[in-house]
Amino acid sequence: MGLEIDGQELSAGCAAMAEAKPGLRKPVFTKVAQLRPSTSGHTLTVKVVSTKMVLQKGRADGPQGRQTRIAECLVGDETGLIIFTARNDQVDLMQEGSSITLRNAKIDMWKGSMRLAVDKWGRVEVAEPASFTVKEDNNLSLIEYELVNVVEE
């Protein structure tokens, strides 16, 4: 006997499809040292080492209450460090010493160096305190990259 919906019995194939969950994949966690220029879709758990506010524009009591805030946060794991650019509401989550999970993060290039960012398609979440010690002598944001055009003949 198959699955019944609104009094109608479904075939075994349809019943299996009806019970299956939509295609959510388990996230594959990346380490900071594995990040490469201009890549995206990264999920990682990092600790916030330091936070520095670089831009605060607009007024919270303005007509729409619009305020633009950008902070550069040094984040890392047991493999290295990278600068994370936190925007608006993300700034509030980036407290020094806290553990953060970044979902669907991307690498932006700024003046030849890598910056980690999470746009509207990703999420920044406070995570359980991580057990690792941040490796502070491998800062990926200090490596300067140069875009080289390769001409194929």
Q: Which residue has the higher pLDDT, 64 or 116?
A: 116
The pTM of the full predicted model, rounded to 2 decimals, is 0.73
Burial class (CB in 10 A: 0-12, 13-18, 19+), 54: exposed
- pLDDT over 60 (residue 141): yes
Displacement of CA 56 from its chain's centroid (Å): 22
Of all residues in the chain, the percent with pLDDT exceeding 70 is 79
Average pLDDT over residues 2-13: 57
CA dihedral sign of residues 148, 41, 115, 136: negative
105-134 pLDDT, tens digit per residue, is: 999 998 999 999 999 889 999 988 888 888
What radius of gyration do the chain's Cα atoms show? Answer: 21
pLDDT of residue 15: 46
Task: Answer with the residue of higher pLDDT: 24 or 43.
Answer: 43
Band of the pLDDT at 16, cuts 50, 70, 90?
very low
CATH topology of domain 32-137: OB fold (Dihydrolipoamide Acetyltransferase, E2P) (2.40.50)
Alpha carbon distance, N-terminus to C-terminus of the chain: 65
pLDDT at 108: 92
Buried residues in 56-86 as b, exposed as e (16+ CB within 10 A): eeeeeeeeeeeeebebbbbbbbebbbbbbbb
Assign 18 a pLDDT band (cuts: 50, 70, 90). very low
Domain definitions of the chain by residue range: 32-137
Is the model's pLDDT at 57 over the cut of 70? Answer: yes
